[in-house]
Structure 1
Amino acid sequence: MSSEIPQLPLILDSATLSRHLEDPHLLIIDVPLKPESYESGHVPGAVFLDARRLLAGSGEVPNDVPSEAALSALFSELGLTPETHVVAYDDEGGGWAGRLLWTLELIGHRRYSYLNGGIHAWRADGQPLSTTPASPTPSEYEAAYLNPQVQIRREELLERLDDPALAIWDARSDEEYRGVKGDNRQLGHIPGAVNLDWLEVMDKGRDLRLRDYAELVTELEARGLTQDKEIVTHCQTHHRSGLTWLAAKALGYDNVRAYPGSWKEWGNRDDTPVEK
């Protein structure tokens, strides 16, 4: 068994992951929308992560980033070390897995991959499943926001709404974007934001893997989301936009950020402009 840290691509297929299941440097994390997905069968060796641990959980914006202390406790429990290569996946096409990988990017841990299509693609490819919960070996991981530019805060976004170098990708549904649906004080969207529903990023006919890259780039560019711009993506809670952040990275967008407050913050304030 190699003691070298594996060099794995950002978007990982099941066949490649299956060859690395025994690698001691690999930490496979299953962060499902439905916990029973993990119980009914997961990638062998994958540890379970309750997605709520990726959110602050309280305060005015409960979907905001957890404190550095909370992230230190979480990643120590998961056994993260600087040498660990994380492979994340979920049961919904990449939302929670993307939020996890974005959180790793925020704390400066850049050894990570996404299992393309998550558990649906893994099962469809006939890969082995385990129903035995995996217990990670705890570490002493000190998490700090080493890469704060991967997030954008409300204050900066407000200041830059007229910045032609910035483009906002709203990953919510068309109804939420148009302001005909939602559970917020204000309905609609951030002025200038363009909409491409996160569900449009995954291929329903290929077990929720990412859609054809060329097609996606064409659709994004048609909306003004071009690679020369700084892209900010958000949804209601930065869960669905976990996938859109990840997809933009996979498509070669060098400057993509996420707004963790998302519409939960923006749509519940009196000092944030809204378009319908």
Structure 2
Amino acid sequence: MEPYGGGDGRVRWVTPEWLMENLEKVAIIDCQPNIHDYILEHIPGAVYLNEGLFREPRGIAPAMYIPWDAAESIFRQAGVENKPTVVYTGTGGFKGWGDGLEQTMVAYSLARFGHEEVLVLNGGLAEWKNAGGEVTKVFPEVRESEFSVKVQGDFYIEYPDFRRIKDDDDVLVLDARPPEVYEGQGPWIKPGHIPGAVNLPWASLMDDENKTLLKPEDEIRELLDSVGATPDKKIICSCGTGREATNEFLLFRWYLGYPDVKIYEGSFTEWTQIEDNPTVTGPNPY
């Protein structure tokens, strides 16, 4: 199967079988959450790149995206080039860390900073191994690249614009967090969710056993229909810190090709740090 997805094709998905046939034609990024898991086993040729590199404190928010020049330095040092680049993660065999979101977080970061050919390995390292893919402990030699960052400002919405349009009739704000924190008290200073946000847990879109593997498309569309996430809406993806939302942003914008999708990167963390902002508890948006 060829790389698949909708939208402008900047992000697409690939199967392990496709990657096996095209190993020599692509760059590969391993973003397992701990370096020891990469050391233990990785796909041949994969360069290690940790998702944590892409966020830092800004203002009242503790985890916002780094400036463009910092991202450019990281990409160049890691040898990233604007060529087909496969991103994958796994539940680390050494540390046992990982929830699957590393994969979408790094894929989004690449696209956000201007990479044009991001390929997500559907099913991650687990599916690669299940399909008979080889793993290695040998590290590739990384050569510094000349990657030029171009921040894609149309991918995300910042707080002032978010607050202004979030309750418009043609806007649907999605909260990708688990129901228990959407409805009640999580680690944040306030409980519940942003008024108007509809709960669509990111994990509900993924395989029950492997959170890097998408459910069949018909099951995904059924879930989206159940919360009114139709293509005629302006979809704004949010969560706690903007990380879980990367899963849904990629899915809506490039897997299903919805025409108007943005991510509120500050999400509930930024919203709740502004003292006057209300929140809502319970299962209903308002």
Could you state the TM-score of these two structures normalised by the residue count of structure 1? Answer: 0.89
Q: Which runs of 4+ in 1 moved over 3 A?
A: 205-208
2:194 matches 1:190: yes
The CA deviation at 1:142 is 2.6
Picking from 267, 270, 273, the partner of 1:265 is 270
Answer with 189-198 or 12-21: which moved more: 189-198
Structure 2 equivalent of residue 216 of structure 1: 220
2:164 matches 1:159: yes
* Structure-2 change in CA distance of 1:154 and 1:216 (3 Å): same
The CA deviation at 1:39 is 1.9
Contact 2:157/2:265 (<8 A) preserved: yes
Structure 1 equivalent of residue 95 of structure 2: none
Q: How does 1:223-242 map to 2 (within 5 A)?
A: 223-242=227-246
Contact 1:31/1:48 (<8 A) preserved: yes
Contact 2:60/2:273 (<8 A) preserved: no
Q: Secondary structure at the match of 1:56?
A: strand
Q: Secondary structure at the match of 1:238?
A: coil
Q: How does 1:1-276 map to 2 (within 5 A)?
A: 8-9=3-4, 10-23=12-25, 26-57=26-57, 59-82=59-82, 84-91=83-90, 92=98, 94-145=100-151, 147-179=152-184, 181-205=185-209, 208-248=212-252, 249-276=254-281
Deviations 1:10-61 (A, max 9, x none): 11000001111112xx221111223332122111111111211121256532
| Paired amino acid for 1:87 | V
The unaligned stretches of length 5 or more in structure 1 are 1-6
Contact 1:210/1:247 (<8 A) preserved: no
The CA deviation at 1:115 is 0.1
Contact 2:241/2:267 (<8 A) preserved: yes
Deviations 1:95-154 (A, max 9, x none): 122122222222232211100011111112121001122332211223131x20101111
Contact 1:96/1:243 (<8 A) preserved: no
How much identity, in percent, do the aligned residues show? Answer: 29
The CA deviation at 1:241 is 1.8
Contact 1:48/1:134 (<8 A) preserved: no
Contact 1:29/1:49 (<8 A) preserved: yes
Q: Secondary structure at the match of 1:215?
A: helix
Contact 1:188/1:275 (<8 A) preserved: yes
Q: Aligned equivalents of 1:123 and 1:256: distance in 2?
A: 33
| Paired amino acid for 2:203 | L
Q: Aligned equivalents of 1:51 and 1:107: distance in 2?
A: 14
| Paired amino acid for 1:238 | G
The CA deviation at 1:212 is 1.0
Q: Aligned equivalents of 2:124 and 2:21: distance in 1?
A: 16
Q: Aligned equivalents of 2:210 and 2:105: distance in 1?
A: 22
* Structure-2 change in CA distance of 1:193 and 1:79 (3 Å): same
Q: Count matched residues.
A: 265
| Paired amino acid for 1:13 | T
The CA deviation at 1:207 is 7.1
CA RMSD of aligned residues (A): 1.9
Q: Aligned equivalents of 1:93 and 1:45: distance in 2?
A: 23
| Paired amino acid for 1:137 | R
